[in-house]
Amino acid sequence: MTIGVDDDESAFSRLEDNKGLAELWLRICGRLKGEVGEVEYRTWLTQIALGPIDGDEITLLLPTRFLRDWVRSQYGDRLNELWHNEVPALRRVELQVARPGDPAPLQLAEVAASPVGSPSAPEEQNPATKPVAEVRSDLVTALDSRFTFDTFVVGKPNEFAYACARRVAEKPSSVGFNPLFLYGGVGLGKTHLMHAIGAELVRSGNVSVAYMSAEKFMYRFIAAIRSQSTIEFKEQLRSVDVLMIDDLQFLIGKDNTQEEFFHTFNALVDAGRQIVVSADKSPSDLSGLEDRLRTRLGCGMVADIHATTFELRISILEAKAAASGVVVPAKVLEFLAHKITSNVRELEGALNRLIAHANLFGRPVTLEATQDVLHDILKAHDRRVTIEEIQKKVAEHWNIRLTDMSSARRARNVARPRQVAMYLAKQLTSRSLPEIGRKFGNRDHTTVMHAVNRVTELMERDAAFAEDVELMRRMLES
C-alpha cells in the first residue's frame, strides 16, 4: 500500500523509514480491538479505510454517514489518542464518508498475511468467510416452542389477528394480502402469533421462514455493511418464503435501517414472498416512520389486537392453569381476571407464581393464599384513583382553581389541564365516558372523548407535554 506524500512537512514524513502506514494502522486496530472487544470491533471498526494525510491531520473513511457518525461519537477521541501516540505530529483524526474511488478499507486479514503484517493481527479475522455464516444462522432465530396456535387462546379482542395469522401459516403462497401487519399494546400476543406462524410453517415442511426482531434486523444490516456482504444479506432474506419482523417501532429514528428495510420489503413483495410485521401501533400512528414505508405497510392486512376483556382473561387463565396440572379454583381465576387487567404477560406471570408456589409447598391454591403470594403484584394493580384526586392533582400541577375543572371557562390555560384530567380519568379509572363527563361540570361524553384524543395527539407531538402527563400519571398511580 502506498500513500503519496510529497510534503516534507507532513506528519507522515516524520514516520520512521521502515514503518508502513498500513502496519501502523494495523497496530492501532489491534489496540482498539483489545480495548473494545471482538464483537464491537467487527461491528463498527473494520470498515474504516485510510484516507489522505494533510499536514497534521489524517482522514479516515467510512462507507456511510451513519457509520461515520457512530464511530465519531463512540471512538473518535480514542482514535485521536491512538494516532497521536503513534505519530505525535498527528494532531487530528478526521472522519469522513468515503466517496466512489476512495481507497477501500484495509483488510486486517490481508495485511496480516502480507509481510507488513503484525503478529498481533488475529487469524480469525477473515471477513471473506465468517460473516456469511453468521448471517445465515442469525436469519432463522430459534422459535419458542411454547408459542403455537394451540396454546393461543382466541377471544373477541384477538380473533381477527388470529385468523389472519392462521391464513398466512396455512397458505403462505396464496395469502391474498401482503404484508400482514399485527399491532397492539405490549403483552397482548403479537410475538406469540408470529412464532405460531413460524412453528406451523416449519411443521408443514417445504417452506422456509425467517423471524427476527427489528432490532436484530438493524444489527444484521449494519454487520452486513461492515463486512461488505449486504448483497448476501439481501439474498438470504429473499431466499425465504415468509419473513417476519417483530416490533417494527424500534426502527423509528433509525433512518438508514428504515430505508434498507423499505427496499428489502419491496424486493421481497415483488419476488412474491410473504411478510409479517408487528408493531405497537397501527401504520398510520407510527409517526416517525417514513411516509412511503407507512403507506406500504398499510397496503396489506392490518390486524389490531385489542386489550383483553374479562372473558378472554378467564379463558386464558383456564387454559394455562389446565396446562400446568395444578388445580386452581374458579374463584381464584375470576379474582385474578378482575385484578390484573393490563395485559396477558402480567396475568400469566401472576398465575405462574401461584402455580410455582403450589408446587413448591404442595398446598392447594386458595383465594387467601393467592392474596398472600401475589401481595406485591396485586398492590400495584390496586390503585383506586378517584376522579376527584385526579382533578385535584392536575389543578395543582398546572396552577388552576379546582372549580375550573367543572367550570365553563374555555381559555386555553384552563381548558388544556381540564382535558389532561379527563384523559387521566379515562386511563386510570374504570369510569365510562358519560360518568367522567358528569364529574367535569356535566359535560357530554363526546367532549371527554375529544379531550382523550386531543391529549393523545399532543403527547405524540410534544415530548415535553407527554413527559408532564406521564409524570402526573405516575404520581397518581403511586
If residue 322 lies in a helix (H) or strand (E), which one and from where to where?
helix 310-324
Cβ 186 to Mg ion shortest distance, Å: 7
Cβ 190 to ligand ADP shortest distance, Å: 3
CB-nearer residue toward ligand ADP: 151 or 427: 151
If residue 211 lies in a helix (H) or strand (E), which one and from where to where?
strand 209-213
Q: What are phi and psi of 124, to 5 degrees?
A: -70, 0
Judge whether 50 and 106 are in contact, CB under 8 Å: yes
Cβ 151 to ligand ADP shortest distance, Å: 6
CB-nearer residue toward ligand ADP: 20 or 185: 185
Residue 186 contact partner, candidates Mg ion, ligand ADP, none, CB within 5 to 8 A by sort of partner: ligand ADP
Q: What are phi and psi of 431, to 5 degrees?
A: -70, 145
- Alpha-carbon distances of 265 from 6, 131, 226, 246, 477, rounded to whole Å: 49, 22, 21, 14, 42
Residue 153 contact partner, candidates Mg ion, ligand ADP, none, CB within 5 to 8 A by sort of partner: ligand ADP
CB-nearer residue toward ligand ADP: 191 or 391: 191
CB-nearer residue toward ligand ADP: 186 or 402: 186
Cβ 185 to ligand ADP shortest distance, Å: 7
- What is the residue-wise DSSP string for 248-309? GGGGTT-HHHHHHHHHHHHHHHHTT-EEEEEESS-GGG-BTB-HHHHHHHTTSEEEE-PPPP
Cβ 342 to ligand ADP shortest distance, Å: 11
> Any long-range contacts for 72-76 (C-beta under 8 Å, 24+ apart)?
74/44, 75/32, 75/36, 75/44, 75/45
List the x/- string, 433-472, binding to Mg ion by CB under 5 A.
----------------------------------------
Binding residues (CB under 6 A) for ligand ADP: these are 147, 151-153, 158, 184, 186-192, 316, 344-345, 348
CB-nearer residue toward Mg ion: 190 or 339: 190
CB-nearer residue toward Mg ion: 193 or 321: 193
Cβ 348 to ligand ADP shortest distance, Å: 5
Residue 348 contact partner, candidates Mg ion, ligand ADP, none, CB within 5 to 8 A by sort of partner: ligand ADP
CB-nearer residue toward ligand ADP: 151 or 324: 151
Query: CB neighbours (10 Å) of residue 205?
Result: 6
CB-nearer residue toward ligand ADP: 185 or 329: 185
Cβ 182 to ligand ADP shortest distance, Å: 8
Q: What is the dihedral of CA 170, 171, 177, 180, to 10 degrees?
A: 40
Residue 452 contact partner, candidates ligand ADP, Mg ion, none, CB within 5 to 8 A by sort of partner: none
CB-nearer residue toward ligand ADP: 68 or 190: 190
What single-letter amino acid sits at 410? R
- List the interface residues with Mg ion, window 19-58 (CB under 5 A): none
- Greatest Cα pair distance in the chain: 88
Nearest of 400, 402, 381 to residue 391 by alpha carbon: 402
Residue 188 contact partner, candidates Mg ion, ligand ADP, none, CB within 5 to 8 A by sort of partner: ligand ADP
Residue least distant from Mg ion (Cβ): 191
Q: Which of the ranges 3-11, 32-40, 183-191, 294-302 carries the binding residues for Mg ion, by CB under 5 A?
A: 183-191
What single-letter amino acid sits at 313? R
Applying CB under 5 A, what is the total number of residues that bind Mg ion? 2
CB-nearer residue toward ligand ADP: 188 or 225: 188
> Does residue number 191 form part of the binding site for Mg ion (CB under 5 A)?
yes
Q: Which of the ranges 11-19, 191-199, 209-217, 249-257 carries the binding residues for Mg ion, by CB under 5 A?
A: 191-199
Q: Which residues contact 100 (CB under 8 A, 6 or more apart)?
A: none
Cβ 207 to Mg ion shortest distance, Å: 23
Cβ 323 to ligand ADP shortest distance, Å: 10
Alpha helix positions (H), 325-462: 330-339, 344-361, 367-373, 375-381, 387-397, 412-428, 433-439, 445-461
> What is the DSSP pairing of strand 49-54 with strand 57-62?
antiparallel
Q: Which residue has the cell 389543578?
A: 395
Cβ 297 to ligand ADP shortest distance, Å: 17
- Alpha-carbon distances of 217 from 63, 359, 389, rounded to whole Å: 19, 40, 45
Residue least distant from ligand ADP (Cβ): 189
Residues that bind Mg ion (CB under 5 A): 190-191
